[in-house]
Amino acid sequence: MSLQIIPPRSGAAFELTRGQTLTVIDPEGEQVSDLVAFAREDLDEAISSGRSLDYASRIFLTTGDPLYSNRSRIMLEIVEDTVGRHDFLLTPCSADTFRIIYGHEHPHRGCHGNLVAALEPWGIGPDRIPIAFNIFMHVDVNGTTGELKVLPPKSKAGDRIVLRAEMDLVVGLTACSAEQSNNYAFKPIHYRIDG
Amino acid sequence: MSLQIIPPRSGAAFELTRGQTLTVIDPEGEQVSDLVAFAREDLDEAISSGRSLDYASRIFLTTGDPLYSNRSRIMLEIVEDTVGRHDFLLTPCSADTFRIIYGHEHPHRGCHGNLVAALEPWGIGPDRIPIAFNIFMHVDVNGTTGELKVLPPKSKAGDRIVLRAEMDLVVGLTACSAEQSNNYAFKPIHYRIDG
Q: What was the pLDDT predicted at B28?
A: 98
Its ipTM equals 0.95
Q: What was the pLDDT predicted at B37?
A: 98
Q: What was the pLDDT predicted at A3?
A: 94
Whether residues A57 and B143 touch (CB distance < 8 A) is answered with: no
Whether residues A50 and B142 touch (CB distance < 8 A) is answered with: no
Whether residues A60 and B143 touch (CB distance < 8 A) is answered with: no
Would an 8 Å CB–CB cutoff place B2 in contact with chain A? no
Judged against a pLDDT cut of 90, whether residue B123 lies above it is answered with yes
Residues in chain A with CB shorter than 8 Å from the CB of B144 are 143
Would an 8 Å CB–CB cutoff place A130 in contact with chain B? yes
CB A90, CB B54: distance < 8 Å:
yes
Whether residues A146 and B58 touch (CB distance < 8 A) is answered with: yes
Alpha carbons A59 and A78: distance in angstroms, whole number: 14
Nearest CB among B55, B90, B141 relative to A100 is that of B55
Would an 8 Å CB–CB cutoff place A55 in contact with chain B? yes
Which residues have CB under 8 Å from B188's CB, separation 6+?
B5, B6, B7, B8, B27, B28, B31, B175
Whether residues B149 and A57 touch (CB distance < 8 A) is answered with: yes
Neighbours of B188 (CB within 10 A): 17
Whether residues A147 and B57 touch (CB distance < 8 A) is answered with: yes
φ/ψ of residue A119, rounded to 5: -90, 0
CB A145, CB B143: distance < 8 Å:
no
CA distance A51 to chain B (A): 6
CB A168, CB A39: distance < 8 Å:
yes
> Among all residues of chain A, which has the CA nearest to that of B88?
A50
Would an 8 Å CB–CB cutoff place A96 in contact with chain B? yes
Which residues have CB under 8 Å from B75's CB, separation 6+?
B37, B39, B47, B66, B67, B68, B69, B165, B166, B167, B169
Average pLDDT, chain B: 97
Mean pLDDT, to the nearest integer, of B161-177?
98
Would an 8 Å CB–CB cutoff place B123 in contact with chain A? no
Nearest alpha carbon to residue A179 among A71, A89, A97:
A97
Would an 8 Å CB–CB cutoff place A60 in contact with chain B? yes
Residue ranges of the domains in chain B?
4-194
Would an 8 Å CB–CB cutoff place A120 in contact with chain B? no
Assign B150 a pLDDT band (cuts: 50, 70, 90): very high
Judged against a pLDDT cut of 80, whether residue B1 lies above it is answered with no
Mutation target among A47, A49, A51 for the B interface, most CBs of B within 10 A: A51
Residues in chain B with CB shorter than 8 Å from the CB of A55 are 100-101
Q: What is the pLDDT of residues B33-90, one digit of tens each?
A: 999 999 999 999 999 999 999 999 999 999 999 999 999 999 999 999 999 999 999 9
Side-chain-side CA neighbours of residue A68 (13 Å):
18
The one-digit pLDDT tens for each residue of chain A (195 residues) are: 789 999 999 999 999 999 999 999 999 999 999 999 999 999 999 999 999 999 999 999 999 999 999 999 999 999 999 999 999 999 999 999 999 999 999 999 999 999 999 999 999 999 999 999 999 999 999 999 999 999 999 999 999 999 999 999 999 999 999 999 999 999 999 999 999
Nearest alpha carbon to residue A130 among B69, B37, B50, B124:
B50
Whether residues B143 and A141 touch (CB distance < 8 A) is answered with: yes
Whether residues B100 and A45 touch (CB distance < 8 A) is answered with: no
> Among all residues of chain A, which has the CA nearest to that of B147?
A58
Longest dimension (CA), chain B: 46
Whether residues A131 and B49 touch (CB distance < 8 A) is answered with: yes
Mean pLDDT, to the nearest integer, of B89-113?
94
Q: What was the pLDDT predicted at A154?
A: 98
- Residue B62 burial (C-beta neighbours within 10 Å; 0-12, 13-18, 19+): middle
CA distance B124 to chain A (A): 13
Percent of chain B at pLDDT > 70 equals: 100
Whether residues A50 and B101 touch (CB distance < 8 A) is answered with: no
Alpha carbons A74 and A66: distance in angstroms, whole number: 6
Whether residues B146 and A44 touch (CB distance < 8 A) is answered with: no
φ/ψ of residue A155, rounded to 5: -75, 140
Whether residues B59 and A146 touch (CB distance < 8 A) is answered with: yes
Nearest CB among B94, B127, B147 relative to A57 is that of B147
